[in-house]
Copies of this chain bind each other. A is one copy, B any other.
Amino acid sequence: MLLPVSTWPDIESWLKRSKTIVVPIGSMEQHGPNGFIGTDALCPEIIARHAESLAPDDMLVGPTFSVGCAQHHLGFPGTITLRPSTMIAAMADWTESLMRHGFERIYWLNGHGGNIATIEAAFSEIHARRSFDLRGADNRPGLKLKRRDWWDFKSVMTLCNQLYPVGHGSHATASEVSVTYYGYPDHTRTDVEMSPKIAPNGKISDAVQYRRDFPDGRIGSDPTQSSVEDGEKIVGAAAKAVLEEVRRFSA
């Protein structure tokens, strides 16, 4: 079930048989010369929806938390970021909303490495409210918060290594660009030249430093390799892995 196109009675029914929801979470930031600015939000959204299509009765997908922590990409036009403190507040509001309805297990399917720390900090902020509480400690609903980076399944990583033994990279990766090309085949960019073919690697601090050290935005990648066909394979593998994990998480 997809929450944004469901009705509230649908969700009321869902909660009678499950307390789990999957929330894609990403970022809106530059992804090099041929990657979409929305890549990190679109990838988990595409994968989660594909997983849902395989087993609509087993998975509820919430709206995508589409703008995350991308301050280091602000040197590139189009990037939109939250401050980590804002993101923590927003994730806490989402979570409290879901808890209000009886959800007890929230699976955040993440598409952005730069979100990892802040997502975990938000989990800690949310749990802290409960941990400080003197009242009813033993008598309250449970809460499990889990983050999964979509690329961080063994099956997915193996596949990506096979597809891109060279130039997979760590930002604007060949695999994530393929996933979005599969999701938005009308928007593929097939004729973009990049130099050097494989982007440099390095450290990240703020926006000025990032653009200076990574002038076209990529880190370590050659996304000219990306294709709709590869994307289809990756989405298939990731969706299968997500579905299995969500089933275990819900059990």
Given A83-B93, A84-B125, the answer on whether A36 and B77 have CB atoms closer than 8 Å is no
Taking a contact as CB atoms under 8 Å apart, the answer to whether B7 and A121 are in contact is no
Please tell me which one of the listed residues B63, B119, B127, B217 contacts residue A66 in the complex, with CB atoms under 8 A apart: B63
Taking a contact as CB atoms under 8 Å apart, the answer to whether B78 and A101 are in contact is yes
1/0 per position for A1-15, CB-CB distance to B under 8 A? 001111111111011
Taking a contact as CB atoms under 8 Å apart, the answer to whether A38 and B86 are in contact is no
- How many copies are assembled? 6
Q: Give, as a whole number of angstroms, the nearest-CB distance from A185 to chain B.
A: 11
1/0 per position for A57-80, CB-CB distance to B under 8 A? 000001110110101101111111
1/0 per position for A142-155, CB-CB distance to B under 8 A? 11110000000000
Taking a contact as CB atoms under 8 Å apart, the answer to whether B66 and A124 are in contact is no
The size class of the interface chain A forms with chain B is 35 or more
Complex: chain B residue closest to A125, CB-CB: B84
* From A7, A35, A217, residue with most partner B Cβ within 10 Å: A7
Taking a contact as CB atoms under 8 Å apart, the answer to whether A76 and B130 are in contact is no
Taking a contact as CB atoms under 8 Å apart, the answer to whether B124 and A97 are in contact is no
Given A86-B89, A120-B117, the answer on whether A11 and B78 have CB atoms closer than 8 Å is yes
1/0 per position for A176-191, CB-CB distance to B under 8 A? 0000100010010100
Q: Which residues in B have their C-beta under 8 angstroms from that of A3?
A: 28, 37-38, 78
Taking a contact as CB atoms under 8 Å apart, the answer to whether A71 and B4 are in contact is no
**CA of A132 to CA of B102 in the docked complex: distance in angstroms?**
12
**CA of A77 to CA of B31 in the docked complex: distance in angstroms?**
36
Q: Which residues in B have their C-beta under 8 angstroms from that of A119?
A: 117
Interface residues of chain A, those whose CB is within 8 Å of chain B, are 3-12, 14-15, 28, 30-38, 41-42, 62-64, 66-67, 69, 71-72, 74-86, 88-90, 93-94, 96-102, 114, 116-125, 127-128, 130-132, 134, 137-138, 141-145, 180, 184, 187, 189, 192, 205-209, 217
Enumerate 6 A-B pairs (CB-CB under 8 Å) in ascending A order.
Answer: A5-B42, A7-B37, A71-B131, A80-B93, A82-B90, A100-B132
